[in-house]
Chains A and B, each alone.
Chain A
Amino acid sequence: KQEVTQIPAALSVPEGENLVLNCSFTDSAIYNLQWFRQDPGKGLTSLLLIQSSQREQTSGRLNASLDKSSGRSTLYIAASQPGDSATYLCAVKGQAGTALIFGKGTTLSVSS
C-alpha cells in the first residue's frame, strides 16, 4: 500500500530564503507525482506535475525534482515571499486505476 510522507510538517522562514520541501513515497511504481498548494479554507491549486519518466519540472521560482528509484521528491522554492505562505501537498499516482495518494502536507510560513 502506497504511503506518502512529507517532512517537515511545518516550516517558518524569513522572506528571501531559498527552501526545500521533502516528499517520500514507499512504492516506486508511480505514473506521476503532483505538488499542490492549499491556502487556508481553500481548494488545491496544482503547482507542478512530474511524470515518472521526468527528473524535474520548473515553474517560475518553483522547481520540483523526482527520484523514483529512491522514492523521493523535493519542491524547491527560491527567494521565498510572504505570499508563498500556505500548505504544500505532495501526491503520487500509482498504477492505472488507483487513486491519487496524498501526504499530509508541509505548512509554510514566510515572514516579512
Chain B
Amino acid sequence: SQTIHQWPATLVQPVGSPLSLECTVEGTSNPNLYWYRQAAGRGLQLLFYSVGIGQISSEVPQNLSASRPQDRQFILSSKKLLLSDSGFYLCAWNPDSNYGYTFGSGTRLTVV
C-alpha cells in the first residue's frame, strides 16, 4: 500500500532563517506531488505541484521554492523566512491528476 510521510511535524523558526520541509511517498512510482498551505482562517492554497523529477509548477509567487530531486521526494524550501510564511503545510499525492488526493500529516510552521 502507498504511504506519504512529512517531517518535521512542528517547526519554530526565526525570521530570516532558511527552511526545508520534506515529503516522501512510498509504494508507488511517478506520483503527482503537491504542496499546500493552510493559514489560520483561510482555506487551503496550492503552492507547488510536480508531475515528475525536476518538473515544478508554481501556483503562487512568493518567498518559497520547491524541488523534486527524486521520484518520490518533494522538498519545500525558503532561503529567508518571513512572518507571513507561518502556517500549516501539507504535502499530497495522487497517481494521476484526475484521481483523488492523499494528504500527509502536515507540518506546523511558526515563524517568530
| Residues of chain B lying within 8 A (CB to CB) of residue A104 | 42-43
The residue that B43 contacts in the complex, of A42, A97, A105, with Cβ under 8 A, is: A105
- Which residue of chain A is the closest to B59 with respect to CB atoms? A99
- Which residue of chain A is the closest to B47 with respect to CB atoms? A99
B46 at interface (Cβ–Cβ under 8 A)? yes
| Residues of chain B lying within 8 A (CB to CB) of residue A97 | 97
Give the interface size class of chain A. Answer: 20 to 34
Q: Check if A49 sits within 8 Å of B100, measured CB to CB.
A: yes
Q: Check if B90 sits within 8 Å of A43, measured CB to CB.
A: yes
Q: Check if A44 sits within 8 Å of B43, measured CB to CB.
A: no
A75 at interface (Cβ–Cβ under 8 A)? no
Q: Check if A46 sits within 8 Å of B100, measured CB to CB.
A: yes
Given contacts A41-B108, A99-B49, A99-B59, contact A46 B43 (CB under 8 A): no
Interface SS, A side: strand
- Give 1 or 0 for each of A23-52: 1 = CB within 8 Å of chain B CB: 000000001101010000111111001000
- Which residue of chain A is the closest to B88 with respect to CB atoms? A41
Interface residues of A in 47-82 (CB under 8 A from B): 49
Q: Check if B106 sits within 8 Å of A102, measured CB to CB.
A: no
The residue that A100 contacts in the complex, of B42, B46, B108, with Cβ under 8 A, is: B46
| Residues of chain A lying within 8 A (CB to CB) of residue B44 | 89, 91, 102
Measured CB to CB, the residues of A under 8 A from B are 31-32, 34, 36, 41-46, 49, 89, 91, 93, 96-97, 99-100, 102-105
Measured CB to CB, the residues of B under 8 A from A are 6, 34, 42-44, 46, 49, 59, 88, 90, 92, 97-106, 108
9 contacts between A and B (CB under 8 A): A34-B100, A43-B103, A43-B105, A43-B106, A49-B100, A91-B101, A99-B49, A99-B59, A100-B101
